């Protein structure tokens, strides 16, 4: 194993680190850092394979960070494969304090035998977790209880920005098999894909994202989470009696959801009477009030295979096309989530034709956003962007209003309805 204590701007690059038994630094209280142990400094850990490390020792000794343990360091963990490590908490990565950047890693099949954080256990005032694949991690299987199979963000005063991660096929007996935000932490989830995570049958829900609060000096403290342009799909829980399989919120917590898709999870959202959840410009399988919300089949490319790009007659990014190099392909139908996000949000990163409006879901405002059947160069009533407003556009807006076609929200009020139909008919008659 590798031990870095106040080692300044050290770099660990390109090693295979395996079979580590943890640092003795924190004994007899805990055995931490099966593969890499860090305390202080500003190290960069990159391009390594960190696998099959296990810091457990005889006796009742806590273990954190089966792959990597970091305490009070300004650490960057980049482009590593961290797999099949074991610890009580944070079997893949445990990072407490300091400034933490976790980017571009594969965090897979790490096993937490405790109750919090299988893949990642992060409690830092400034954490950035981006472009990682976090999958097949687990927590608490033998205990029969546990939360945060993929990731846990915890404690008041700590904050994490999560973006462009794929969190899937993780396991926890209780809530939050994918992502768990706890004990008054704050987090922003942006362009995340959370899918096919698993909790035990008969649990109260929360298979994908779980948000809970805590107490400080006897005073309740809630966690605060923003979910923006995320896709949370296919995280069902069998016989979940409360629901909230996509999003389960309790403990004086506050969650806002925007431009997101919550679909295929069963009962999607639940929150207790101490908490608040506000959802806007999102597609939710169960009808939930909020500006711009819809409840229509999002027409994913292949949800069963984990491809959540949106189908489009104008073009959908297919990463398997062009011999694996990826390219846009044409579909026979168009998702109602295209051009249906919040009209005030930026769509600058979406390729043309982009309809002049952000898409819902994890690929909204990214180069892989599905293309719009309306390019935005012609009047908004010209829904197929052929420089003419005619019967074709009238049919498109009627289909949109009936929920059998793509969105055709001409007046950008968040709804495709009779007002939009009338606007297109008027424009066609005047043409």
- Tokens 């929360």 sit on residue: 206
Contact 54, 88 (CB under 8 A): no
CB crowding 370-407: b at 16 or more within 10 Å, else e = bbbbbbbeebbbbbbbeeebeeebbebbbbbbeeebbb
Q: Give the predicted TM-score (pTM) of the model.
A: 0.89
| Alpha carbon distance 342, 246 (integer Å) | 21
Q: Are 242 and 210 in contact (CB under 8 A)?
A: no
Query: CA dihedral defined by 420, 426, 427, 430, rounded to 10 degrees?
Result: 180
CA–CA distance, 221 with 244 (Å, rounded to integer): 21
Residue 241 has pLDDT above 80, yes or no: no
Helix (H) or strand (E) holding 429: helix 418-430
Q: Provide, rounded to the nearest whole percent, the portion of the chain with pLDDT above 70.
A: 97
Strand, helix or coil for residue 303: helix
245: nearest Cα among 272, 212, 267:
267
The pLDDT > 90 percentage for the chain reads 78
pLDDT at 296 over 90: yes
Pick from 19-23, 57-61, 117-121, 278-282: least confident: 57-61
**Distance in angstroms (rounded) separating the CA atoms of residues 216 and 154:** 13
Q: What is the 3-state secondary structure (H, E, C) of 200-264?
A: CCCCCCCCCEEECCEEECCEEECCEEEEECCEEECCCCCCCCCCCCCEEECCCCEEEEECCEEEC
What is the dihedral sign for C-alpha 23, 85, 200, 278? positive
Contacts of 345 (CB under 8 A, 6+ apart): 258, 259, 358, 365
- What is the band of 129 on the pLDDT scale with cuts at 50, 70, 90? very high
Average predicted confidence (pLDDT) for the chain? 93
Residue 260 is predicted with a pLDDT of: 98
Position with higher pLDDT, 40 vs 426 = 40
Residue 42 C-beta-side C-alpha neighbours within 13 Å: 3
How far apart, in whole angstroms, are the C-alpha atoms of residue 431 and residue 395?
A: 16
Is pLDDT above 80 for 387? no
Report d(CA 10, CA 135) in Å as an integer: 29
Q: Name every residue whose Cβ is closer than 8 Å to that of residue 273 and which is 6 or more positions away in sequence.
A: none
Residues 6+ apart with CB under 8 A from 214: 156, 182, 183, 184, 220, 221, 251
* Interatomic CA distance for residues 229 and 351, integer angstroms: 17
The predicted-structure confidence for 155-204, as pLDDT tens digits, reads as follows: 999 999 999 999 999 999 988 999 999 999 999 999 999 999 999 977 67
pLDDT at 411: 73
- Give the pairing type, strands 300-302 and 307-310: antiparallel
For 72-76, 135-139, 151-155, 411-415, which range has the lowest pLDDT when averaged over its residues?
411-415
Please tell me the distance from the alpha carbon of residue 426 to that of residue 381, in angstroms, as a whole number.
Answer: 9
**Which strand (E) or helix (H) includes residue 95?**
strand 93-96
- Six-digit token string for 69: 């343990």
Mean pLDDT of 119-142: 98
Q: List pLDDT tens digits, range 212-229.
A: 999 888 899 999 999 999
Identify the pLDDT of residue 375.
64
Q: Of 184, 197, 114, which is closest to residue 155 (Cα–Cα)?
A: 184
pLDDT band at 134 (very low <50, low <70, confident <90, very high): very high
| Residue bearing tokens 């080692």 | 7
pLDDT for the residue numbered 406: 66
């Amino acid at each position: 194993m590798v031990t870095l204590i106040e080692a300044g701007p050290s770099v660990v690059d390109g090693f295979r680190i395996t079979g580590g038994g943890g640092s003795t630094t924190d004994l007899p209280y805990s055995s931490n850092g099966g593969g890499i142990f860090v305390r202080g400094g500003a190290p960069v850990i990159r391009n390594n394979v960190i696998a099959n490390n296990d810091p457990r020792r005889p006796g009742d000794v806590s273990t954190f960070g089966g792959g990597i343990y970091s305490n009070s360091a300004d650490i960057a963990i980049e482009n590593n494969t961290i797999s099949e490590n074991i610890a009580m908490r944070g079997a893949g990565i445990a990072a407490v304090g300091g400034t933490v950047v976790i980017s571009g890693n594969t965090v897979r099949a790490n096993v937490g035998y405790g109750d919090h954080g299988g893949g990642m256990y992060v409690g830092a005032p400034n954490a950035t977790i981006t472009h990682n694949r976090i999958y097949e991690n687990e927590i608490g299987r033998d205990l029969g209880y546990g939360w945060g199979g993929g990731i846990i963000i915890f404690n008041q005063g700590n904050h994490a920005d999560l973006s462009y991660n794929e969190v899937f096929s993780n396991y926890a007996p209780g809530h939050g098999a994918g992502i768990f935000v706890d004990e008054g932490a704050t987090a922003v989830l942006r362009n995340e894909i959370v899918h096919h995570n698993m909790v035990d049958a008969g649990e109260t829900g929360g298979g994908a994202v779980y948000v809970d609060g805590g107490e400080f000096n006897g005073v309740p403290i809630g966690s605060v989470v923003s979910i923006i342009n995320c896709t949370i799909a296919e995280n069902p829980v069998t016989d979940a009696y409360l629901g909230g399989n996509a999003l389960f919120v309790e403990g004086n917590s506050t969650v806002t959801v925007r431009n997101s898709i919550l679909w295929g999870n069963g009962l999607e959202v639940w929150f207790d009477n101490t908490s608040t959840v506000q959802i806007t410009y999102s597609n939710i399988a169960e009808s939930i009030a909020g500006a711009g919300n819809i409840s229509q089949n999002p027409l994913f490319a292949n949800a069963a295979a984990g491809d959540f790009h949106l189908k489009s007659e104008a073009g959908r990014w297919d990463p398997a096309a062009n011999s694996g190099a990826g390219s846009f392909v044409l579909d026979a139908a168009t998702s109602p989530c295209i051009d249906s996000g919040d009209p005030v949000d930026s769509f600058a990163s979406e390729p043309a034709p982009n309809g002049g409006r952000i898409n819902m879901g994890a690929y909204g405002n990214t180069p892989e956003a599905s293309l719009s059947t309306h390019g935005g160069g012609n009047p908004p009533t010209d829904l197929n962007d052929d420089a003419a407003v005619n019967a074709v556009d009238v049919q498109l807006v009627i289909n949109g209003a009936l929920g059998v076609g793509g969105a055709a929200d001409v007046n950008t009020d968040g709804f495709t309805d009779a007002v939009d139909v009338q606007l297109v008919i008027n424009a066609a008659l005047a043409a």
